[in-house]
Amino acid sequence: MDDDYLSGFTALLVQYDVLGAFWTNIQLTFFGALLALVVGTVLAVMRISPLPSLAWAGGAYVNIVRNTPLTVIMTFLVLGAWTQLGLSLSTNFTWNFFWFGVVGLGFYHASFVCEAIRAGVNTVPVGQAEAARAIGLPFLSAARLVILPQAFRGAIAPLGNTLIALLKNSTVAAAASVTWETSSVMKTMIEFQPNYIWEIFLTFAIGYVILVIPIGLLTTWMSNRLAVKR
Q: State the pLDDT at residue 39.
A: 96
Instruction: Please report, as a single letter, which amino acid is at residue 95.
Output: W
Q: Does domain 17-226 have CATH number 3.40.50.1950?
A: no
For all residues of the chain together, what is the average pLDDT? 88
Where in the chain are the domains?
17-226
Please, which pLDDT band fits residue 8 given cuts at 50, 70 and 90? confident
Region 26-40: what's the mean pLDDT? 96
Spatial contact of 50 and 139, defined as CB atoms under 8 Å apart? yes
CA nearest 36: which of 97, 116, 121? 116
Q: Helices (DSSP H) in the chain: which residue ranges? A: 3-15, 18-47, 52-65, 70-75, 93-121, 126-134, 139-142, 148-154, 156-169, 182-192, 197-226
Q: For 175-194, how does the pLDDT look when each residue is reduced to its tens digit (9 = 90+)?
A: 888 888 899 999 999 998 88
Q: Percent of the chain having pLDDT more than 70?
A: 97
SS3 222: helix
Q: For 51-80, how does the pLDDT look when each residue is reduced to its tens digit (9 = 90+)?
A: 899 999 999 999 999 999 999 999 988 888
Spatial contact of 102 and 32, defined as CB atoms under 8 Å apart? yes
CA distance 34 to 84: 28
